[in-house]
Structures are given as structure tokens and as C-alpha cells.
Amino acid sequence: MQYSVEANIKGVSLVFRTADGVFSPTRVDRGTLAMLSLVDFEKGDKVLDLGCGWGVVGILAAKLIGPESVVMVDNDPLAVELARENAARNGVGEILVCKSDGFGQLSATGFTKILSNPPYHTDFSVARHFIEKGFNRLVLGGKMYLVVKRREWYKNKLISVFGGVQITEADGYYVLCAEKRSWEYAKQGKGGKSSRSLRDMVLEKE
């Protein structure tokens, strides 16, 4: 079944076609809205919508800063098809929309912001890929935003890679923001454990 979804986000009116088989087909997901409420898109940004689904994050960013500054990727062919259609429907058809398993088929780099509502996998393999490879694709000072329900693993992983994380609770979700402050991971190696000094860098606010 197909659906039409209308939304007004950050004062921008958007309309989307969605379908069964993609994430949250009948409405804009609350977690995505929570994340977007905490992100400001600015001129000069280069934005990656990682796991774009039917396109809400990337299309909103494109409306605010221009489609040439946005890349959207998803590994689901239906999601990619819908995202491309919805980009055109909202007047930003020039967005680069790619089918890619995470960063596997994506060569673009130099992002200032990477945003994702990662899929929920018990082994966290997808999230681990998103965080580790996302770090490498950010510019110095670039930020990764994740919206999640399960805080601890993501908090520890972001600290181990980025060296710190800001956590904000919004509408029942945790929005995590980590800034790239070095060209090297804060801590190499596996396991996601972080030292006491790194844990002290966590900033949390309601």
C-alpha cells in the first residue's frame, strides 16, 4: 500500500509518497523529528543523510541549504526510489541519492554533518559501521548526530571513537552528537571500552 505524508518541519512544508516495506511509512518518525529539532543546517554545510529511508532528513536539509550540499544513502532499493521521487516532488531533485550498504558504495567525503536514525540490531554491527566509517568521512569539526532508544552502547562507542559525546533527551529518545576533534580515533582497538577521562567528557542535558 502507498501513502501520502505531509509535514511542516522547521517552517518548511513538505509532502512525501511512501509505501509499505519502508520504515515508518504512514508518518514522519518521532525519533527523526526529535533529532531534527536539535540540528541547525547552515550555509556551507555538507550533509549526509545516512540510512535516508524515504528522505525526510536529506530533503529538509536540501530545502534549507541547497540540494548540491546534501547526499542521501540507503541500502533498500525501495527507499532509494522513494527518496529520489520525494526529492523531485519537493523541488530538490538534484540531491545525490545513492544505494549503498552504509558507506560501502559511497565515495563522497568531507561532510560537516552526518545524521542517522540507525536500525535496531542486537549485535550493533550496522551502528558500529556507521560510527567508525562516519568518523572518517567528517571534516575536522564535523558532527555526527544519532537518534536512539538504547543509550549506553551508543554513548560508549561514540566516546571511544570521537572522544566525547553530547546526549539530549527529546520526546522519549536520546539524541547523541559527537564532534570530530582529531584526525585519529580517540581510542584504537575493539571492545568500545573508554577510559574514565573520556567518560568525564560526556555532556548530558534534559
Nearest to 16 by CA among 107, 94, 81: 81
**Residue 187, pLDDT score:** 72
- Kindly report the CATH number assigned to the domain that includes residue 114: 3.40.50.150
Above 80 in pLDDT, residue 192?
no
Least confident of 4-8, 140-144, 191-195: 191-195
Above 60 in pLDDT, residue 199?
no
Residue 65 lies in domain: 2-205
Encode pLDDT of 36-67 as tens digits. Answer: 999 999 999 999 999 999 999 999 999 999 99
**Residue 120, pLDDT score:** 74
What does each C-alpha distance from 101 to 44, 145, 175 come to in angstroms?
27, 19, 23
Question: How far is Cα 59 from Cα 64, in angstroms, rounded to an integer?
Answer: 9
Helix 125-137, helix 151-162: angle, nearest 10: 30
Mapped to the 3 state alphabet, what secondary structure does 45-109 carry?
Answer: CCEEEECCCCCHHHHHHHHHHCHHHEEEEECCHHHHHHHHHHHHHCCCCCCEEEECCCCCCCCCC
* CA 20 remoteness from chain centre: 22
Q: Which residues pair with 162 in a beta bridge?
A: none
Domains in the chain: how many in total? Answer: 1
Report the chain's mean pLDDT, rounded to a whole number. 91
pTM: 0.91
Above 90 in pLDDT, residue 203?
no
Question: How far is Cα 153 from Cα 171, in angstroms, rounded to an integer?
Answer: 20
Cell readout for 181 is: 576533534
**What type of residue sits at position 180?**
K
